[in-house]
Amino acid sequence: MSHCESHHEHDALLCILPPYMLENLAEHGTAAEKKLARQALADASAVRAERSAIASRTTRSPRAAAAVAKRRTIYSANNGTQLPGTKVRGEGQSATGDASVDEAYDGAGATFDLYHDVYSRNSIDNQGMELISTVHYNQNYNNAFWNGQQMTYGDGDGNLFNRFTIAIDIIGHEMTHGVVQHEANLVYQNQPGALNESFADVFGSLVKQRSLNHTAAQADWLIGAGLFASGVNAQGIRSMKAPGTAYDDPKIGKDPQPAHMNDIYTGSGDHGGVHINSGIPNRAFYIAATQIGGYAWEKAGRIWYETLRDKLAANSDFQTAANETYNVAGALYGINSAEQQAVRNGWEAVGLSVAGLGWQTNRLVRYVFSTYASKSAYAIIEGVSGWLKVHPESADGVSNVLKALEIAKAFDRRVNVYLQNINGANCITRIYLL
């Protein structure tokens, strides 16, 4: 098993390269490449256990942030595996001339700045956490990872992979795994794990776009462009715009990412497809961001960030993410706004219909009732000379409210729907358009 692979969702490190790429290389590479791939796939149980312990005691970040102070510290493992290694550059110190050191430093700064300047977040944990990075990890190591408390980057083998600090979105990706850990702490398995990977790709890409001052239309939407050495048939590790097209090479294999729920991977490999299936929410974000237009970090990024921060939990799946990003878009920019419609379009393009609160249809009102356990409910129908209050007949309030919705639909009226949860406390008040 690799540093990035285990049989338990809390034991896996969060690596930029998916295990199936290294497995392909271990089978189809040269003798030297196979050896390095097997080395990267070697068991690292002590490191996995460390991350497991850290993640298990991580709590959601408090909203009251500590004093803001960017604190970057770069270490070198000197081609060994002891972390963090030897300190080589601290905050405010001059460039060293070592490309890996200086890229890790600058990339950590760009990621900090995106989260702080755009989303008012104070470092990974929102409490000013020190940003620790280790470069020159192991010998010719083909990967980068977040271990629960720091970023670590290999030098690559120089034949297939360049150094892993060469792409700033890789740095943003690994640091965002830390943000996810301190917010939703999405379980690294199946759809929650794919969302974990997708959020890391989204904000990794936004770090790159902001550093280049690229609009959504100008961005390449590739993750890891520049990582592969010449001669490898690869644009990057993943394409958010066109999942499944990032690479097709005899040694590393073909990009297996799906772009639609019809093609979702359901096997047990890759922790249930955490890297594979991240292509689905990645494309949803790409479509939403490009339809909104402008700089993707400003509106689309804010919708995704506030959803991660406030709405998702450890076991949230794609449908939950679709519903909640749609709701957040409505709360931020208005019900039926262009931004909210772009989010809807993004998710529908990958095969997920949103079931958000707000202006919806009768079908989705029924879905809301089936989602929230209701002790009682009633509907108020807009009339010519006021509002008609209709009380429920059934125990959970569904049947008569749905009758009220049909009445309103016939007269093209609005309906205000009130629900109570199972303990009797008011839990939802929303207006629905039929």
Q: Is 275 a catalytic residue?
A: yes
**According to the per-residue pLDDT averaged within each range, which of 364-373, 383-392, 395-404 is highest?**
395-404
Give the end of a domain, one of 273, 301, 319: 273
Contacts of 284 (CB under 8 A, 6+ apart): 322, 346, 347, 349, 350, 352
For residues 267 and 389, state if they share a domain.
Answer: no
- Tens of pLDDT along 152-172? 999 999 999 999 999 999 999
For residues 110 and 235, state if they share a domain.
Answer: yes
For 310, other C-beta atoms within 10 Å of its C-beta total 14
Confidence of residue 403 (pLDDT cuts 50, 70, 90): low
Confidence of residue 81 (pLDDT cuts 50, 70, 90): very high
For residues 366 and 249, state if they share a domain.
Answer: no
pLDDT at site 387 = 40
Domain carrying residue 372: 362-432
Domains held by the chain: number: 2
For residues 56 and 187, state if they share a domain.
Answer: yes
Is the predicted pLDDT of residue 129 greater than 90, yes or no? yes
pLDDT at site 391 = 45
Q: Is residue 85 part of a domain?
A: yes
Place of tokens 């129908």: 381
Mean pLDDT of the chain: 82
For residues 58 and 193, state if they share a domain.
Answer: yes
Query: Can the peptide bond before residue 84 be classed as cis, meaning omega within 30 degrees of 0?
Result: yes
Cα 111–172–273 angle (5° rounding)? 150
Active-site residue, selected from the candidate residues 5, 33, 103, 174:
174
For residues 83 and 203, state if they share a domain.
Answer: yes
Active-site residue, selected from the candidate residues 3, 275, 324, 339:
275
Paired strand residues for 234: 247
Q: Is residue 296 part of a domain?
A: no
Confidence of residue 409 (pLDDT cuts 50, 70, 90): low
Q: Is residue 312 part of a domain?
A: no
Q: Is residue 266 part of a domain?
A: yes
Q: What distance in Å separates the CA atoms of residue 81 and residue 394, rounded to the nearest whole number?
A: 64
Residue 364, SS3 per DSSP:
helix
For residues 224 and 372, state if they share a domain.
Answer: no
- Tens of pLDDT along 332-359? 998 889 999 999 999 999 999 886 543 3
Better-scored residue on pLDDT, 206 or 411 = 206
For residues 253 and 115, state if they share a domain.
Answer: yes
Q: What distance in Å separates the CA atoms of residue 414 and residue 427, rounded to the nearest whole number?
A: 20
pLDDT at site 59 = 73
Q: Is residue 292 part of a domain?
A: no
DSSP letter string over 148-186? Answer: SS-EEEE---SSSB--TTS-HHHHHHHHHHHHHHHTT--
pLDDT at site 419 = 46
For residues 251 and 125, state if they share a domain.
Answer: yes
Cα 257–262–268 angle (5° rounding)? 55
